[in-house]
Each structure stands twice: as structure tokens, then as C-alpha cells.
Amino acid sequence: MPDSAYLLIRDPQGGESATRLVVGERLTLGRAPTNHVVIHDERASRLHAEIISTPAGWSLRDLASRNGTLFGEAALGADHLLSPGDVFSIGRLEITFCHGDPPSAVGGTAELEGTSPAVASAEFERWQATITHRRTRSRLLEAIDGPGEIVPRVGRAAAELCRLAFALGKAGDARAIARLALDAALHGVEATRGVVFLPAGIAAGQPGTTAAALDAFATTPPDWAHASDRLEGVITAVMRTDEALLACDPHLADGSTSLSAPIRSGGRAIGAMHAERPAGGREATPDDLEFMMAVCDALGVAVENLSAREILSSRLASTADENERLKRRLGEESQMVGASPVLEAIKGQIARVAGTRATILVRGESGVGKELVARAIHDASDRRNGPFVCMNCAALSETLLESELFGHEKGAFTGATERKAGKFETAHKGTLMLDEIGEMSPAIQAKFLRVLEGHPFERVGGSSRVQVDVRVVAATNRDLEQAVAAGEFRRDLYFRLKVVEILVPPLRKRPEDIEPLARHYLQRFAIEAGRRVRDFTPAALDALRGSHWPGNIRELRNVIERAVVLSADELIDIDDLALSQLSSAGETGRKTAERPAPFVPLTLDELEQRHVQATLAAVGGNKTKAATMLGIERSTLDRKLARWAKA
């Protein structure tokens, strides 16, 4: 008498289940719905195999099936007495013979959302039993080198798919591409009705993957998808197996033939297409199924492209909005704030030189806003829509500076793993601002001079010549005249840079700008930090005006930012200001412990004369620049000089 036993059945479509073997009863396996184990696979016969109990144990017998019952690679011939752990296969099913009782965790069937064989319609069960062909991918367009009768058919299919691809590329929404694909498939396989199911959220660029989330995007006739009882099960079966299915049975509903194929995106099935041909026409072939698969593959690519376009469009809109906000913020940061006569004169110079191609040299102490002047020149010029590139020449060694300015080729030096464009190439059709130009080494000065004169240059380690159109604005806080005299700066480069010179005086020499700048930074940092600081106390304003500001505008900005962050009141008081006690750049080198010289009384006229003459000496005798620095008219300066000359 055989012991208690069961079959553990692994079905790629239905999951894992267990069937108990009952002593004295015959268990049959096959495609017919009357079997104890129904196998939904066209490779299984209607009555495929049986397992019977014998005095020696459980015996497996093949019932003259068409494709046989396989043990490994060999087909079962005579009856086989089963032993625990024996594995045999019928079609896609893998069946293991086990002793004992089935485990409680096995016995159900794993299903996708949307349907279950236990509640599937009888029409769907009949359709499933009539599947004759399965395909995982279309080979239609790979069979060009086939027999003569195949090549014309492949050519027609290729032409249809080519036209479809162009049409899908022009379509603008998911329902339009679904309609185009369905029409092409119905025409190609000579079907009269069909439907395309796709994820409902596909238009937003986030396609789903479950049958429960699918929606009929295209249907022919319009309401046919809701009239078929078996469609839900068919679509679920196609998506679960990721196979195209051809079912032919004269007893199926009205005798029609059905073709179903998955729509894949990202290597997985996200939807399905189902079409049916009426009875009475030519018999459907596997080539029809492959053509339908090719259409679905093209539709899947179109779905991916549509989703990518939607995501890209959303990101571009977000990026454009962010760029606009950054431009507004950059405009605020690069705004030249102040109302002193000196600043107004600088703005006038910027307005006059911005429209020219002249090289500009901006001079002034560190922190006075030389980069703001360069950006103002760029924004006022016809290059405003081009790039504005800023680089500090003192921040890099000679080798790295040359690479940063002119670029390098792959392998030019250790670490040069790819070609890199330099600042000159990056600033093409725009403005290149070179800060601390006085720190440039003599070797790079020579190459830089040639580029300034309009000559092409070569990247480091390269031989191809690069021609650029760049407007150069140079800046320095060094005494270039002294550097030229000492042989540290090329004389010819000095004169080439000094086409137009803009002198930016330190903040201590334009005290009228201190309060407007302080209020500007107060408002800006209060918004950024989310603080309710609104103004300064009179004592704080007096302290700001009286400070020497050795760090110029950069120091003022940092002082105000710190005060806004640390202030506990709505008004910033003198105690909130961390004013520096350092000497200014013009005072560097002096001994702080040195006692001041004795006071020598002077008349106001003598003091004015000394100051004017010192200013003239500082600007090289240029009376126009001196008058601008002094805040007087040129004619007034001429009268004063003439009067002092007669005295």
C-alpha cells in the first residue's frame, strides 16, 4: 500500500501549488478542464498523463501525449515508479513527487492584481485551453535572409513598421500613440476588433505595472473592451508570462482567433494589446503573432519616449524658473549700491566703455568691488547674453593657471584624463574677468598677450589652434608700474591692458556710500536668515561711518551679516558690530608702535593744495581722473592749479 504523498507543482504562470494523491484514485494531468490538474499550456495534450497507486507505490504513466512527459531531457516511455524528490515536467510545469502531507504554506496560486483563476469566467478558461503558440520576442525583422516566400512578407512588415514608427514619433499623447498602434496591428493581422491596455498614469510620465491600474487607451469597436468577459484574464495572463499568445479554436465564442502581446517598457510588461479575427478568413499564423509583437515593441518605445518627454518638460520648466530666480538674485548681488560722486563717475565710465571692444583694467584695493564693476560692464554690453567667466590668477600655480586659462588635451600631464576647455573657450562670445592679473607669471603673460592681440592659441599638450572672441576685463590691487619697473610684469602687456583704466577708490574715501550699502545688506540678510531686523540705531550708524574699513565692501558685508544673524533685537546696535582694528591696505608696512609725527599747523588752503597734488601724482598727472576722484569739475581743478602756480 503506497504511503500518503502529494505533487508540488511549479507553474511560471500560476505560481506554486500542491495536489494531494489519494490511495485508490487515479489522478490525471492535461489541458482539458476535466483533469484533476489542468495545464494551461498548448504543449500539453488534452489528456496528457496520469498517476495511479500500485502495491509497490505511486506510478507515473504518459497517455500517448503529443510532446511527451519529460524526466530531465528524456521523454518517459514505460510506466515509472516514483520516488520522493523525483521531478518531471509537462510543458512549462515542473512537478515534484513528495511523501507526506502538503505543507500548509502551499496550496494557493500566486496571482497578479486584477484576476484569479478561481473566479475567472468560463469563457476565459476555454480561451486559455485553446492557446496554440507562444512567443517571447518577435523574430519577424530578423528573418530577412529566409526563403523567397518569406522575404516579401518581411519587407511588407518592415514597411508597415517603419511608417508606424514615424507616426508614433509625431504623436503627442498616450491615447494617440495607442490608437496608431492598434490600427496598424489590426490592419497587419487582418483583425476586426482589438484593444490596447496601458497604465492609467502614463501621461504623467509614471507608468504603472499592475493589471489593476490598466486602462483601455484605444478600442475597436469603441465599446468592445467592456463587452468581453475574458479580457481581464487574457491581459493578466499576457503580463504575467510576458509572452505573446495565439489562440485558435472553432468552438471559442463566435469561432474567432485571438492574438495577444505584451507592451514592454524598461524591459518589463506594462500593458498589453489584444486583437481578434473573425471566423471564415485565412488561418492566423505565428508570423501574425510576431508582427503584433513588433507593433507592441514599437508602442513600448513610444511610451518610454513620451514619458521621458513629459519628465524632461517638467524638469526644463523647473530649471527655467530656478534660473530666473538665480538671475534675479545675481542681479541683486551685483548691484552697485551708493550715491557718492565717485561712484556716479564710475557708473558713467562703465556706460561709456561697455559698448566698445576695448580691454579694461580695473584697479583698487581688495574688497572694493572690482568684480562688480566687471559684471556691470558685461551686463551693459552687447555680450550680456554670453557667458561671464571670472578667474583669480593668484589662486593657482603656473602650470595649473595655464591649463585653466587655455585648456589641455587628454594626457597632457599626470591627471589629464580627458580634454578640458579653458576659461578663454568657456567665455567665447562673452566676457572674461581676470582678477589679480599682477600675479601672473612672465611665461603665461607672453601667451596671454598674444591672445589679447587676437591670435589663436593652443591647449596645453595640443597642436590644434583655437580662435575665440572674448572681451577681457583685468583687475588688480598691485602697483603695476612698480612691478614693470622691477621686471616682474611685462611692459608691453601693461600697455595692452591699460587701454581703459577704471579706478575704484576704497570705501573710506567715499563715506557717502557706507550707509546705503549697510542698509542694502541689512535688508538682504534679514530676508535670507528669516530675522525681523529692520534698522540700525544712531550709534551703530555713527560707528559704521567712522570705521576705517580696511577690508572695504567685503568687510562691511560680513559685519552686517554677522550682526543680522546674532542680533536679538529689531535694531542693530553698536555692540552687535564687530569692527576690525586692522590698518588699511594703504597703511601696510607701517609700524603700529611707531609714535605719530608732531602736529604741524596748516591753513585749509595749504591742506587742500597738498591733497590735490597728491591725488594728481597718484593718477599719473591725469587731471580728468584727479577731478573725478576729488569730486569737482575739471575746470575747477584747472583754476585751483593756476592760482597755486601764481602764488
DSSP 420: B
The per-residue pLDDT for 631 is: 84
Query: Is the confidence at residue 107, as pLDDT, over 60?
Result: no
Query: Is the confidence at residue 238, as pLDDT, over 50?
Result: yes
Three-class SS state of 474:
strand
Poorest-pLDDT segment among 26-40, 102-116, 380-394: 102-116
Query: Is the confidence at residue 285, as pLDDT, over 50?
Result: yes
Three-class SS state of 56:
coil
The per-residue pLDDT for 228 is: 60
- Interacting residues of 494 by C-beta distance below 8 A, sequence separation 6+: 480, 481, 484
Tens of pLDDT, residue by residue over 520-531, are 999 988 988 888
CA separation (Å) from 310 to 113, 168, 193, 296, 306?
Answer: 27, 15, 31, 21, 6
The per-residue pLDDT for 253 is: 52
pTM summary value:
0.48
- Beta-carbon count within 10 A of 380 CB: 16
CA separation (Å) from 252 to 225, 235, 387, 565?
Answer: 17, 17, 70, 79
Mean pLDDT across the stretch 614-632? Answer: 83
Tens of pLDDT, residue by residue over 12-50, are 766 788 888 888 888 999 888 788 888 877 788 888 999
pLDDT band at 51 (very low <50, low <70, confident <90, very high): very high
Which amino acid appears at position 142 of this protein?
E
Three-class SS state of 504:
coil
Going 220 to 222 to 227 to 231, the CA torsion angle's sign is positive
Instruction: Give strand ranges (E) for 436-522.
Output: 457-458, 465-466, 470-476, 500-503
Mean pLDDT across the stretch 340-351? Answer: 90
- Beta-carbon count within 10 A of 216 CB: 19
Give the chain's length. 647
Poorest-pLDDT segment among 27-41, 315-329, 409-423: 315-329
Q: Which is more confident, 173 or 333?
A: 173
Taking alpha carbons only, the member of 647, 542, 569, 559 closest to residue 603 is 647
pLDDT band at 165 (very low <50, low <70, confident <90, very high): confident
Tens of pLDDT, residue by residue over 423-448, are 999 999 999 999 999 888 888 898 88
Do 626 and 615 meet the contact criterion of CB atoms below 8 Å apart? Answer: yes
Taking alpha carbons only, the member of 87, 49, 89, 41 closest to residue 65 is 49
Q: Which is more confident, 170 or 390?
A: 390
Cell numbers that stand for 591 in this block: 609700524
* Residue reference for cell 474567432: 256
Residue burial 484-496, b: 16+ Cβ < 10 Å; e: rest: beeebbbeebbeb
| Beta strands across the sheet bearing 244-248 | 131-135, 244-248, 257-265, 268-277, 193-199, 214-220
User: From CA 351, how far away is CA 343, in angstroms rounded?
Assistant: 12
User: From CA 408, how far away is CA 415, in angstroms rounded?
Assistant: 11
Poorest-pLDDT segment among 90-104, 199-213, 295-309, 465-479: 199-213
Do 475 and 370 meet the contact criterion of CB atoms below 8 Å apart? Answer: yes
Query: Is the confidence at residue 111, as pLDDT, over 80?
Result: no
Tens of pLDDT, residue by residue over 529-553, are 888 888 999 999 998 988 889 999 9
Percent of the chain exceeding pLDDT 70 equals 83
